[in-house]
């Protein structure tokens, strides 16, 4: 029975290497599929980091501008928080198309 098996399949180094590759690829805690998923997550996190870094820079720029220019602070309060002076009336115009 063992005589029918090719000689290269009886090589213990080849069998050990094949078993090692199979173990690393499919059964290990850090297998190939897990590594691909982690690489994808890393790319997504790097994109998020870039986005939030840009948002932080914009917020710092806006804060710097508001702390040095009172008219910028007033404009920000009016636009973001819809604040108004006591003697003013505020009218809101909805630009969205009316659904009938």
Q: Where are the alpha helices (DSSP H) in 1-100?
A: 12-22, 32-68, 70-81
Half-sphere exposure of 95 (CA within 13 A, CB side): 0
Q: Looking at the 3D structure of the chain, how many domains does it have?
A: 1
Residue 97, in any domain of the structure: no
Q: Show the domain range for 71.
A: 11-81
Q: Is the pLDDT of residue 100 over 70?
A: no
Lowest-confidence range among 44-48, 52-56, 82-86?
Answer: 82-86
Residue 86, in any domain of the structure: no
**What is the pTM assigned to this prediction?**
0.58
């Amino acid at each position: 029975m063992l005589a029918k098996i090719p000689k290269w399949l009886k090589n213990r180094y080849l069998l050990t290497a094949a078993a090692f590759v199979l173990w690393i690829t499919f059964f290990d805690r850090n297998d190939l599929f897990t590594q691909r998923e982690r690489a994808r997550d890393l790319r997504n996190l790097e994109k998020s980091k870039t986005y939030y870094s840009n948002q932080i820079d914009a917020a710092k720029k806006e804060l710097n501008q508001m702390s040095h220019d009172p008219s910028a602070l007033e404009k920000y309060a009016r636009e973001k928080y819809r604040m108004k002076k006591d003697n003013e009336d505020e009218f809101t115009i909805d630009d969205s198309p009316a659904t009938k």
